[in-house]
Amino acid sequence: MRRTAVAILVLIAVVVPAALSSFERILAAQAAIAGLIVLSLVVLTGFVGQVSFCQYSFAAIGAFSVGSLVAGHHWNFWAALPVGVLAAAVVGVLVGIPALRLSGLFLAILTVAVALLFDRYVFASNTFNFFSGGITPWRPPRPTLFGLHLTGAYTFYLFVLGVFLLATLLVWNLRTAKAGRVLRAIRDSEVAASTVGLDVTAWKLAAFGLSAALAGLAGGLQAVSINSVSAASYDFQHSLQVAAIAIVWGVGAVASAGFGGAFLVYGPEVLRHTPLSNQWFPAIVGLALIVQLVFTPDGIVVDAERRFRHLVPVSEPRTAPAEQPVGVG
């Protein structure tokens, strides 16, 4: 049943945008990219229970790496993108080191401090202009893939969708594999996990690195999606918003990445066509977060999955009746 639902959703995601306008296809690509950032929080918060309010800072590292290398140093995009992803992963591990002994409010404060450090210093004009571009944003062009130019809105959307689906499959396999069980054990009790011989430090740092790498991948794709890289697109406000949206949809479910990314992009767009403006979107996200924490603490997707399992119970395998003993009856 789950595989059928996933196949239907993927088919819809491929077919429906083919009938949409170029602008709507661009929005669909943005939704897939935003989904990668939500997915990065599924890994870090859903699997390991670590809070992060600096995911857009990791995305900015990927974006500025691609922007500076492609537009500034004329690198090929396919060489620059792995560098951006690796750079984001390294920074994620560095952030994870002081976070090893922190949790709850103190961990949240640490990630807020990291986000503000990047906002106000690293990406500020006249600090590292060779990386940030100064007052002039980098404008990396879209790449080619096997000779196919990804300049068309639908072509680029299919490319981004493919990356998102591969990343989602990776995280899903991680969740169902031994590594996922280890990460959940660390989330439930670090003391118990350490007692049974698990290297809690290494696993938590790996989770920080993978989470940051996924956000950096999103940033690298975003850089060529809009052909512009500027610090305003990756500020602390964006990190707060995506964290709230991930919690509303449920960081415990991999499927939340798709729904959360779509909500992040299409929510403000829907508001444009109502008496409200898109400036109301943060307020709506905040209200949704309050309602979700009261009525569905685990998130919308997790709650929906639980209700669906109750409605469609898994059938028990049939067993052959036991043979009647000889001489009875």
- Residue 283 carries which side chain, given as an amino acid letter? A
Residue 28 in any domain: the answer is yes
Is residue 151 one of the residues assigned to a domain? yes
- Is residue 31 domain-resident? yes
| 311 pLDDT higher than 80 | no
Q: pLDDT band at residue 135, thresholds of 50, 70 and 90?
A: confident
Give the N- to C-terminal CA distance of the chain in Å, as an integer: 44
pLDDT tens, position by position, 231-240: 888 989 999 9
User: Cα separation of 325 and 329, whole Å?
Assistant: 9
- Going from the C-alpha of 311 to that of each of 73, 129, 250, 256, the distances in angstroms are 57, 57, 20, 21
Domain count along the chain: 1
What is the average pLDDT across 156-177?
93
pLDDT at 312: 63
Q: Grade residue 123 by pLDDT with cuts at 50, 70 and 90.
A: confident
Q: How high is the pLDDT of residue 327?
A: 44
State the Cα–Cα distance between residues 161 and 16, nearest whole angstrom. 13
The pLDDT assigned to 313 comes to 57
Fill in the amino acid letter for 23.
Answer: F
267 is a domain residue: no
**What's the mean per-residue pLDDT of the chain?**
88
Residue 241 has pLDDT above 80, yes or no: yes
What local confidence, expressed as pLDDT, does residue 27 receive?
A: 94
Instruction: Report pTM.
Output: 0.89
Inter-residue contact 66 to 223 (CB < 8 Å): yes
The domain in which residue 115 lies consists of 17-234
**Which whole number is the average pLDDT over 20-48?**
93
Is residue 315 domain-resident?
A: no
Alpha-carbon distance of 49 to 188, in angstroms, equals 8
* 268: in domain: no
Question: For residues 137 and 60, is the Cβ–Cβ distance under 8 A?
Answer: no
Arithmetic mean of pLDDT, 131-143:
85
> Is pLDDT of 264 > 90?
yes
Q: Please enumerate in sequence order all residues whose Cβ is within 8 A of that of 90, keeping only pairs 6 or more positions apart, or say none.
A: 209
Q: Which residue has the higher pLDDT, 90 or 314?
A: 90
Give me the mean pLDDT over the 200-214 stretch. Answer: 92
- Residue bearing the bigger pLDDT, 171 or 134: 171
pLDDT of residue 53: 94
Query: Residue 296 above 70 pLDDT?
Result: yes
Q: How far apart are CA 102 and CA 83, in angstroms?
A: 29
Looking at the predicted structure, is the pLDDT value of residue 198 above 70?
A: yes
